[in-house]
Amino acid sequence: MLKIEDNRAWFLILPVFLLVAFNAVIPLMTVVNYSLQDIFGPGQRAFIGVEWFRETLRDPAIHAAFLRQILFSGLVLAIEIPLGVAIALTLPRGGWKASAAIVLVAIPLLIPFNVVGMIWQVYARPEIGFLGQVVNALGIPFNYTGDPLSAWVTILMMDAWHWTPLVILLAYAGLCSIPEPYYQAARIDGASRWAVFRYIELPKLNGVLTIAFLLRFMDSFMIYTEPYVVTGGGPGSSTTFLSIRLVNMAVGQFDLGPAAAFSLVYFLVILLFSYVFYTILQRAGRA
Amino acid sequence: MIDLEWMAWTTPTAVFFACVALLLAGMTLLQIVRPTFERKGFLPIPTTRGDRLFIALMLAAFVHLGFVYATELESFWLPLGLSAALGLIILRRG
């Protein structure tokens, strides 16, 4: 068994440990405390047990928001991961063209979330937006303020535009790290382009794609700003995702107890999904 | 003295977090005394002691949530006992 001679390296993680304690653990403890109480104001509270959890778990509006969230995250992953890998495969691997392509691809990632929402809110408007006008001119009715399908299409396109670059950059980094002898061996064996992708590139991308998959899943499962700016959760409640519902409860209605219980259930679901995905992807990688 | 009123502490939540802290301290001590190794039990993945504890805690959380969803009872000895039993099985045989 490997014996550790020097444990002093552990002190180096102490600052991060303290930072996490103040940023995450203490707020999480507070949320747990709030979830079991009815909070009327500073210093005014009453212990009510698990009532808020029962209310949250049985709320049909939260069930609907949860199903919407699952559908949204599923579509985001189904679109962005293959699209990101496909674009990464087409990017040049060296020279000034590679640098220019990476800079261009990364631009959407640099734009703040609320600005992305504003851009797409205007861009997709049927009366003044370029996208809305073009789609309507093609004879396809498109109005994200009145039609749920149009609202979903707009939000999915916006998310793909904003976040596919992250997948592209990760996949590109993975592709650039594959040693040239692998390709030489494939050429000698007369491997087709598909065979090179399937048996060389895809296995080598496993690590970065696991990260991309988890990042995009967690991020899309917690999405708030962009759909809130574009649709405000509408039309009706067709784009009210879990985080929008949560903010409406906590800030709009100031129901801190129910919002805290909802947050904890939300947190546990994300933790569960992430652990399951991580385990499955790690196993696939080992296989 | 730091005022922690904003954290809205209650006795049950304080006991809960004390138990979590004791559990983590106990696992750390156990790791120093008897280091864990990855092994394969009835769970579909090879796990270390920490992995099995995490799975047991997640399972306990969802057992309790299921109990809250499905019943009107306010006493939690039944899901607690069930979670502890499942947790022990996972830690020993998982």
Q: Please give the residue that has the higher pLDDT: either A281 or A196.
A: A196
- Contact at 8 Å (CB) between A174 and A202? no
Calculate how close chain B gets to A244, using CA atoms only, in Å: 22
Q: Verify whether the Cβ–Cβ distance A33 to B54 is below 8 Å.
A: no
Q: Verify whether the Cβ–Cβ distance A268 to B61 is below 8 Å.
A: yes
Phi/psi of residue A40, nearest 5 degrees: -95, -35
pLDDT above 60 for A71 = yes
Give me the residue spans of the domains in chain B: 5-93
Q: Verify whether the Cβ–Cβ distance B5 to A43 is below 8 Å.
A: yes
pLDDT above 70 for A282 = yes
Quick one: A171 exposed, middle or buried, by C-beta within 10 A (0-12, 13-18, 19+)? buried
Residues of chain A with pLDDT > 70, as a percent, come to 98
B35-64 residue pLDDT tens:
988 899 999 888 999 999 999 999 999 999
Instruction: Please give the model's pTM, rounded to 2 decimal places.
Output: 0.84
Q: Verify whether the Cβ–Cβ distance A34 to B16 is below 8 Å.
A: no
Q: Verify whether the Cβ–Cβ distance A29 to B35 is below 8 Å.
A: no
Query: Mean pLDDT across chain A, nearest whole number?
Result: 91
How many Å apart are CA B9 and CA A37, to the nearest integer? 10
Calculate how close chain B gets to A287, using CA atoms only, in Å: 12
**ipTM of this complex:** 0.91
pLDDT given for residue A122 in this prediction: 94
Q: Which among B5, B10, B62 has the least Cβ separation from residue A36?
A: B10
pLDDT given for residue B73 in this prediction: 83
pLDDT-derived band at A280, boundaries 50, 70, 90: confident
Calculate how close chain B gets to A37, using CA atoms only, in Å: 8
Calculate how close chain A gets to B13, using CA atoms only, in Å: 6
A41 inside 8 A of chain B by CB: no
pLDDT given for residue B76 in this prediction: 86
pLDDT given for residue A72 in this prediction: 96
Q: Which domains does chain A have, with CATH numbers?
A: 60-286 (1.10.3720.10)
Burial B13-26 (b: 16+ CB within 10 A, else e): beeebeeeeeeeee
Mean pLDDT of A237-248: 93
Q: Verify whether the Cβ–Cβ distance B13 to A26 is below 8 Å.
A: no
Phi/psi of residue A66, nearest 5 degrees: -65, -45
Mean pLDDT of A28-43: 90
pLDDT above 60 for A29 = yes
Q: Verify whether the Cβ–Cβ distance B58 to A33 is below 8 Å.
A: no
Mean pLDDT of A83-93: 94
pLDDT given for residue A2 in this prediction: 54
Q: 3-class SS at A111? A: coil
Q: Which among A33, A47, A58 has the least Cβ separation from residue B69?
A: A58
pLDDT above 60 for A1 = no
pLDDT above 80 for A284 = no
- Non-local (6+) Cβ contacts of A130 within 8 A are A123
Measured between beta carbons, the chain A residues lying within 8 angstroms of B10 are: 33, 36-37, 47
B11-37 residue pLDDT tens:
999 999 999 999 999 999 999 899 988
pLDDT given for residue A112 in this prediction: 93
- Reading the block at residue A9, the tokens are 């390296």
A163-187 residue pLDDT tens:
999 999 999 999 999 999 999 999 9
pLDDT given for residue A281 in this prediction: 77
pLDDT above 80 for A7 = no
Q: How many contacts, defined by CB atoms under 8 Å, are there between A and B?
A: 52
pLDDT-derived band at A5, boundaries 50, 70, 90: low
Mean pLDDT of A26-37: 93
A184-213 residue pLDDT tens:
999 999 999 999 999 999 999 988 998 899
- Non-local (6+) Cβ contacts of A135 within 8 A are A142
